[in-house]
A = this chain, B = another copy of it.
Amino acid sequence: MLDFTYYAPTKVYFGKEKHKDVGEIIKSYGYDKIMLQYGQGSIKKSGLFDEVMKSLTDSGITIVEMGGVEPNPKLSFVKEAIKVAKETKVQMILAVGGGSVLDSSKYTAAGAMYDGDPWDFPSRKASPQSALPVGCILTIAAAGSEMSSSAVITNMELNMKRGFNSDLNRCEFAICNPELTYTVSKYQTACGIVDIMAHTMERYFIPCEPTDLTDRISESILKATIAAGKTLMENPCDYDARANMMWASSLSHNGLTGCGRENALPVHQLEHALSGEFDHIAHGAGLAVLFPAWARYVYKQDVSRFAQFARRVWDCTEEDDEKAAKTGIEKMAEYFESIGMPTKLTDFDIDAHCADRLAELCTFGKQRTVKTYVDLDFDKIKEIFESCM
């Protein structure tokens, strides 16, 4: 087991109706002036916005509204939010939404305490030294941003989607009411399932020594997520399935699945290039295509681990490791298909000759490789993309 630091300080308020306590919760931290960030208005249609506003105003909290966060949140929006946060001297940011609103809010929180250009964080010119606290009411289980240390943002001028990690990015609290996700579409639910599984599998399949406890916890999260996904395709309002999915999303990405292991997200790196280039591709859907393709490409480097995955997660009974490993990967691919995910990049209606461009993006113009069992250079990445056309 490798040395590690585990730090997941977010207080999670989990359960039915919990969002109605948001005002009281914020008051318990001593804040009385906050910025409220949310997305494109779906929370207004659902009635959630009114419930949140009621709870906040009942607690006497002054609210600076900052709606309109887009999917793949934009640096320009964040810059505006930072300006407003500084001017209005809000004490914290409340994010009501999914990963995009969370990331935008975290980014705003760090930027509000920084005098330079907030793009300095992902471009590694500066690390945030302090940040406003962030709390959230989660409406989509997928990104795990509610407990994670990362915030990802898109710089439209540079056409780049990049993030930065910092413990300052950890939410102070997260309010997780699974009922709020009943209205997430089947497609977006399936995308979330894939994202949660990918966060777990990225850390599971990494070249390092076995770590029995972390392995088993990761397998637990995968099994519970797979089961929840199956149930939700039949019954989107199954409370327990929504709850297991939501809690799995937090645990998959809060550090727990990486304890004692190397840390890298190779398939996420491939996918960020893909959905960065093609705006209409949902992150989870991109991962659903790329994960099996990546696995088929690298599994030979660690057959016994892929065999363990097959046996413990997919209940494969093949005794031969090589056969089990291959079966496990195909079971994963079949599962993604069974919950309505695409199986090929061409399903996205994109040019079958874009592999060059995507490999270029992944390697920042052949300037870097993607680290995994084998260092993936331009040619290897291109091959992986081509294998899923």
A: which residues have CB within 8 A of B? 1-9, 11-16, 18, 178, 209-214, 216-217, 219-221, 223-224, 227-228, 239-240, 243-244, 247-248, 251, 259-260
Chain B residues with Cβ below 8 Å from A243 are 1, 260
- Give the CA-CA distance A213 to B246 in the complex, in Å: 10
- Give the CA-CA distance A178 to B11 in the complex, in Å: 28
Closest residue of chain B to A8, judged by CB? B8
Closest residue of chain B to A6, judged by CB? B12
Closest residue of chain B to A223, judged by CB? B216
- Give the CA-CA distance A259 to B248 in the complex, in Å: 12
Q: Does A213 contact B217, Cβ atoms closer than 8 Å?
A: no
Chain B residues with Cβ below 8 Å from A209 are 240
Chain B residues with Cβ below 8 Å from A15 are 1-4
5 pairs from A and B in contact (CB 8 Å cutoff): A5-B11, A7-B12, A8-B9, A9-B9, A213-B224
A1-B247, A6-B14, A243-B260 known; 14 new pairs, CB 8 Å cut-off, are A1-B244, A3-B14, A3-B16, A3-B18, A9-B11, A14-B259, A14-B260, A209-B240, A212-B240, A213-B221, A213-B244, A213-B247, A216-B219, A217-B220
Closest residue of chain B to A5, judged by CB? B13
CB A237 to nearest CB in B, in angstroms, measures 14
Chain B residues with Cβ below 8 Å from A6 are 11-12, 14
Chain B residues with Cβ below 8 Å from A239 are 1
Chain B residues with Cβ below 8 Å from A1 are 15, 178, 239-240, 243-244, 247
Chain B residues with Cβ below 8 Å from A213 are 220-221, 224, 244, 247-248, 251
Q: Does A14 contact B4, Cβ atoms closer than 8 Å?
A: yes
Q: Does B216 contact A224, Cβ atoms closer than 8 Å?
A: yes
Q: Does A247 contact B221, Cβ atoms closer than 8 Å?
A: no
Q: Does A224 contact B212, Cβ atoms closer than 8 Å?
A: yes
Closest residue of chain B to A1, judged by CB? B243
Q: Does A7 contact B11, Cβ atoms closer than 8 Å?
A: yes
- Give the CA-CA distance A251 to B213 in the complex, in Å: 10
CB A230 to nearest CB in B, in angstroms, measures 11
- Give the CA-CA distance A269 to B227 in the complex, in Å: 35
Select the residue from A14, A213, A219, A260 with max chain B CB neighbours within 10 A.
A213
Chain B residues with Cβ below 8 Å from A247 are 1, 213-214, 259-260
CB A163 to nearest CB in B, in angstroms, measures 22
- Give the CA-CA distance A248 to B212 in the complex, in Å: 10
Chain B residues with Cβ below 8 Å from A211 are 240, 244
CB A289 to nearest CB in B, in angstroms, measures 26
Q: A5-B11, A5-B14, A243-B260 are in contact. Are A216 and B212 (CB under 8 A)?
A: no
CB A187 to nearest CB in B, in angstroms, measures 23
9 nearest CB pairs, A to B: A3-B15, A216-B220, A9-B9, A213-B224, A6-B12, A1-B243, A7-B11, A213-B244, A212-B224
